[in-house]
Amino acid sequence: MPSGELFNEAEEIVEQAYEPAVDDSETITYTRRKKRAEKIADDIRRERVIHDIAEKDKFCDCCDHPLHLSQNAKGAKASAILYSIVECAKTNGLVPYDYIVYLLEAFTHPNPNIEQLLPWNVKLNNGL
For 13-23, the pLDDT digits (tens) are 766 666 666 66
Check residue 92 and report its DSSP letter: T
Residue 77 has pLDDT above 70, yes or no: yes
What percentage of the chain has pLDDT greater than the value 90?
17
Domain boundaries, the chain: 54-128
Cα 58 to Cα 50: distance, rounded to the nearest angstrom:
15
Residue 1 has pLDDT above 70, yes or no: no
Q: Say which range, 33-37, 79-83, 112-116, has the weakest mean pLDDT.
A: 33-37
- To 5 degrees, how large is the angle CA 82–CA 87–CA 88? 95
Q: What are the start-end ranges of the E strands in 5-121?
A: none
Residue 10: the pLDDT is 65
pTM above 0.75, yes or no: no
29 pLDDT tier (thresholds 50, 70, 90)? confident
